[in-house]
Amino acid sequence: MWNEKGNSHLQQPILPSLFSIGAIGLTLAGALIWQSEFAYALDYVSSYVDGLLRWWYVALVAFLTAFVIWLGLGRYKNVRLGKDYEQPEYRLFPWLAMLFAAGTGVGLLFWSIAEPIMHFQGNPFTSEGFTPSAASTAIQLSFFHWGLNGWAIFALVAIAFGYFSYRHDLPLAPRSALYPFIGERIFGFWGHVVDALAVFATVFGLATTLGLGARQTGTGLKWLFSVEASLWVELSVVAVVTVIATISVVSGVRRGVKILSEVNLWLTLILLAAFMIIGPFDYMAGLLVQEIGGYLDSLLIMTFYVGANEPGNWQSTWTVFFWGWWLAWSPFVGLFIARISRGRTLREFVFGVLLLPTLVTFVWISVMGGAALHSELFGGGGIVEAVNKDIAYALFATIEHLQTTDSIKFLMGLVATLLISIYFITSADSGALVVNIILSGGQLEPPKASRAGWAIGNGVLT
C-alpha cells in the first residue's frame, strides 16, 4: 500500500504544502492588511464558541478522557503501536523527556506559578480569595488544566496516527486517522486538506507558544543582566533559538531532539531540587500529597463544570481556553508522540502518556506554585503584585522571594532562563519535524533541506 521510502499513493506531496503555505500566507496577509476587521472576526468567533459551544468543549474532553482510559484498560490494551513483534524504540527516560518537552514545556514554565497565583485571588470553586482554601483550590485547578484530561487528548490523537501508520502501513500523517471513514480517498483531495489544516494549526499554535517563550526568556535576561526586555531582545532570542532549533531538527530525532530533551529534563530536575532544598519543602510536599487527593476528589466536578449558572467568563478564560489549546496542539504533539512511541502496547502507551507527564507536572506545580503561595500566605508576599503586573515575571519574582543568598538566586535564575530557552528550542525543532513529516507524505526522516526551511519559517512567523 505505502512505505516511507516510496509511496505510490501520494504522487503529489506538493499539494498539502501549497494548501498549507497558501492558508498561512492568506491568514498573515489578512491580519496585516485588515487588522481591526481581523481582530473583530477573532473576537466574534471567540464569543460564539463561548456562548454556544462551551458545553460542547467540556463534554468532548470528558468523553475523550474516558475513551482513552478504556483503550488502555479494555480488550485492545495489548495491541501494539507497531507489528506484534516490535519493541519500544526508546527507553523510558528519553521517551518521557521528549513527551514532556514537546507536550507542555514552555507553556508550563510560563503558567506554573502565574496560574495558581491568579486562581488564588478568586475562582468559582472558592467563596473567598487570598485564603488557605483558595490556595488549595488554585493548585487543584492548575493540576486540572495541565493534567490527565489534556494528556488524554494528545494520547488519543497519537494512537490514531500511530495505529494506522505502524499496523496498517499508512503514512504517519493526520489523513491516515480518516482511513476507517473514507478509505483510499485519504490519498486524494480531502486527505490533502486534512494534512494542510493540521500544518496550519501546528504552525500558528507553535508561534503563539514560542512567543510566550521569547517573552519569558527576555524577562529572564532582564532579571539576570538588567537587559531591557524590548522587542529587539525578544527578536534576538527568537533568532538564536531558530538557529539552534534548525541544527537540532536537521540532526534528527536521535541526535538532536532526543539529546536536547534529556538535557531539559535534567535541568528541570536540578531546578526542582534547588527549590525544594531552599524553599519551604514541608509545605511543598504536603501541598503535593494533599492536592493530588483534592484533585482526584473533585476531578469529575471540574471535568463537567460548564459555569451555566455563574456570571462572568471564568470558564471561557480558563478551562475552555486550555481545552482549545490542547486540541489545537494535538495534531503536532500527537504526531510527535506517535513518532517516538512505536512498539509500545496501548496499555503501556496510554498510562505512560497519561500518568508520567502528569505526575511530573503535579510535582512541578506543587513546588513552583507552592513556593509562591507560601510566600503569599506565610511570608512577605509580593508575588501577586508581580504576576498582575507581568505574568512572564512570575518565575523570577518567586526566585527573588526565596530565603537564600543573591548568588544562589542568580544561579537559579540562570538555570531557569536556560531551561526556558531549551524548552523553546525543543518545541521549535519538534514542531518543524512534525510539519515536515506531514508534508513529506509521512516520511519519518524528511529531507534535511525541508526540515531546515520549516524551522526557519516557524522562527520568522514567531
Q: For residue range 378-411, what is the model confidence (pLDDT) as tens digits?
A: 998 899 999 999 999 999 999 999 999 999 999 9
pTM for the complete prediction?
0.90
- In angstroms, the Cα distances linking 184 to 10, 18, 172, 228 are 11, 21, 15, 56
- Return the SS3 of 311: coil
Q: Tell me the HSE value of 429 on the side-chain side, using a 13 A CA sphere.
A: 30
Helices 92-103 and 346-378 meet at what angle, rounded to 10? 60
Model confidence at 256, in pLDDT bands (50, 70, 90)? confident
Neighbours of 145 (CB within 10 A): 22
Residue 20: which pLDDT band, with cuts at 50, 70 and 90? low
User: Which residues does residue 345 pair with via DSSP β-bridges, in sequence order?
Assistant: 80
Distances (CA, A) of 113 to 63, 136, 244, 319: 29, 14, 28, 17
* Statement: residue 219 has pLDDT above 80: yes
Residue 90, domain member (yes or no) = yes
| Residue 139 backbone dihedrals phi, psi, to 5 degrees | -65, -40
DSSP per position, 340-356: H-TT-BHHHHHHHHHHH
Asked if pLDDT for residue 44 goes beyond 70, the answer is: yes
User: Does the pLDDT value for residue 15 go beyond 60?
Assistant: no
Instruction: Indicate whether 1 belongs to any domain.
Output: no
Per the domain annotation, does 187 fall within a domain?
A: yes
In angstroms, the CA 84 to CA 82 distance is: 6
Max CA separation in the chain (angstroms): 67
* Pick from 15-24, 143-152, 423-432: least confident: 15-24
**pLDDT tens-digit map of 258-316:** 888 888 889 999 999 999 999 999 999 999 999 999 999 999 999 999 998 887 789 98
* Number of separate domains in the chain: 1
CB 204 within 8 A of CB 26: no
The answer as to whether 2 is a domain residue is no
Question: Grid coordinates in use for 371?
Answer: 513556593
Average pLDDT, the chain: 88
Each residue of 399-438: b (16+ CB within 10 Å) or e? bbbbeeeeeebeebbebbbbbbbbbbbbbbbbbbbbbbbb
Residues 6+ apart with CB under 8 A from 257: 98, 101, 248, 249, 426, 429, 430, 433
pLDDT score for 335: 94
Cα dihedral 285, 396, 418, 326, rounded to 10, equals: 70
Look at residue 265 and give its three-state secondary structure: helix
Q: Is residue 3 part of a domain?
A: no
Q: In the predicted model, what is the mean pLDDT of residues 236-250?
A: 86
d(CA 36, CA 391) in angstroms, rounded, equals 26
What is the pLDDT averaged over residues 370-377?
98
CATH number, domain with residue 402: 1.20.1730
Which of the two residues, 73 and 41, has the higher pLDDT score?
73
Alpha-carbon torsion, ordered 270, 273, 275, 281, to 10 deg: 170
pLDDT level of residue 17 (50, 70, 90 thresholds): low
Q: Which structural domain, as residue segments, surrounds residue 423? A: 14-461
Q: Which of 154-163, 347-356, 447-456 is predicted with the least confidence, judged by mean pLDDT? A: 447-456
> How far is residue 127's CA from residue 133's CA, in Å, rounded to a whole number?
9
Using DSSP, state whether 70 is helix, strand or coil: helix
d(CA 188, CA 196): 13
Of 314 and 228, the one with more pLDDT: 314
What's the number of CA atoms in the CB half-sphere (13 Å) around residue 358? 22
The top-scoring range by mean pLDDT among 20-24, 38-42, 170-174, 213-217 is 170-174
Question: Given pLDDT bands bounded at 50, 70 and 90, which one contains residue 1?
Answer: very low
Question: Rounded to an integer, what distance in angstroms lies between the CA atom of residue 96 and that of residue 338?
Answer: 13
In angstroms, rounded to a whole number, what is the distance separating the alpha carbons of residues 274 and 411? 10
Q: Please answer whether residues 363 and 281 qualify as being in contact, where contact means their C-beta atoms are separated by less than 8 angstroms.
A: no
pLDDT tens-digit map of 96-109: 888 887 777 778 88
pLDDT at 111 over 90: yes
139 in any annotated domain: yes
**pLDDT tens digits along 190-202:** 888 888 888 888 8
Residues 6+ apart with CB under 8 A from 387: 113, 114, 117, 118, 393, 394, 397
Question: What separation, in Å, do the N-terminal and C-terminal C-alpha atoms of the chain show?
Answer: 38
Band the pLDDT of 16: cuts 50, 70, 90: low
Q: Which three cell numbers stand for residue 284?
A: 511543598
Q: How much is the pLDDT for 444?
A: 78
Q: How many C-beta neighbours within 10 Å does residue 55 have?
A: 14
pLDDT above 80: residue 458: no
Average pLDDT over every residue of 422-434: 84
Assess if residue 288 is contained within a domain: yes
Residue 123 pLDDT exceeds 70: yes
Reduced to 3 states (helix: H, G, I; strand: E, B; else coil), residue 123 is: strand
Q: How many CB atoms lie within 10 A of CB 445?
A: 14
Q: Check whether 8 has a pLDDT greater than 50.
A: no
Most confident of 205-209, 288-292, 330-334: 288-292
- Residue 91's pLDDT is what? 92
Q: Please write down the long-range contacts of 183-188, taking CB distance under 8 Å and 24 or more positions apart.
A: 184/9, 187/9, 187/10
Confidence of residue 352 (pLDDT cuts 50, 70, 90): very high
Tell me, yes or no, whether 145 lies in a domain.
yes
